[in-house]
């Protein structure tokens, strides 16, 4: 049994996608716990509706919580705080970011990329460090921005890609395998 913690501060759409992905893979025994630092975050409602364990975890309690709760992987999905090194040393933390890092680190990356007029952006999954969006890159996948593409279309493509890419990369990490672009192409057929 692999234990995953998913940490989020907001809507939780990536969290829900991860839960549903592993629900369709009964051969992978995965135990998911939802953690949030915002008692009003919609991710908690999603966890309740999906029947997934959840916990309100104030930011200041992360160190003591992860010191006594071991997870194979801690997945950040819209978690809006920078974790300090003493917490990061307690597990294997990964994050997803809606740009091709190192470009457009931090908040509002989708808007900033679109407003800058870049023709290629995308999604990055990376190891978490105490530097904002600065950890080693695990996987990236591009989104092309056509001249006639509207912001809403671009944003929808980024989120669609996040929902396809993140669960596959999580599965690869849990299996101690390396992600390859062919994994995403094969994973898109559903």
Summarize pLDDT for 29-58 with one digit per residue, the tens: 999 999 999 999 999 999 999 999 999 999
Which pLDDT score, from 0 to 100, does residue 60 have?
Answer: 97
Which pLDDT score, from 0 to 100, does residue 180 have?
Answer: 80
Contact 24, 30 (CB under 8 A): no
pTM above 0.85, yes or no: yes
- Rounded to the nearest integer, the mean pLDDT of the chain is 94
pLDDT for 13-29, tens place per residue?
A: 999 999 999 999 989 99
At residue 115 the predicted structure's pLDDT band, cuts being 50, 70 and 90, is very high
Instruction: Summarize the confidence of residues 104-124 as an average pLDDT.
Output: 97
Share of the chain above pLDDT 90, in %: 92
- Calculate helix-pair angle for 13-23, 42-50, nearest 10 degrees: 20
Positions annotated as catalytic residues are: 97
Exposure string of 156-166, with b = 16+ CB inside 10 Å and e = fewer, is ebbbebbbbbb
Q: What's the Cα-to-Cα distance from 147 to each of 43, 102, 119, 150, rounded to whole Å? A: 34, 23, 8, 9
For residue 151, the number of C-alpha atoms closer than 13 Å in the C-beta half-sphere is 10
The whole-angstrom distance between residue 15's C-alpha and the CA centroid of its chain comes to 8
């Amino acid at each position: 049994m692999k234990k995953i913690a998913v940490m989020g501060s907001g809507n939780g759409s990536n969290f829900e996608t991860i839960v549903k992905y592993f629900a369709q893979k009964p051969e992978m025994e995965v135990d998911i716990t939802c953690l949030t630092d915002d008692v009003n975050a919609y991710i908690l409602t999603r966890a309740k509706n999906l029947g997934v364990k959840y916990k309100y975890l104030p930011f200041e309690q992360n160190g003591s919580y992860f010191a006594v709760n071991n997870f194979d992987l801690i997945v950040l999905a819209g978690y809006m705080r920078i974790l300090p090194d003493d917490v990061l040393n307690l597990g294997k933390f990964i994050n997803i970011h809606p740009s091709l890092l190192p470009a457009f680190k931090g908040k509002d990356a989708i808007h900033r990329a679109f407003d800058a007029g870049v023709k290629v952006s995308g999604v990055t999954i990376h190891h978490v460090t105490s530097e904002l969006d600065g950890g080693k890159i695990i996987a990236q996948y591009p989104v092309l921005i056509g001249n006639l593409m509207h912001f809403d279309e671009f944003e929808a493509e980024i989120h669609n890609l996040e929902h396809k890419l993140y669960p596959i990369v999580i599965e690869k990490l849990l299996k101690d395998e390396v992600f390859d672009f062919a994994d995403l192409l094969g994973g898109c057929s559903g």
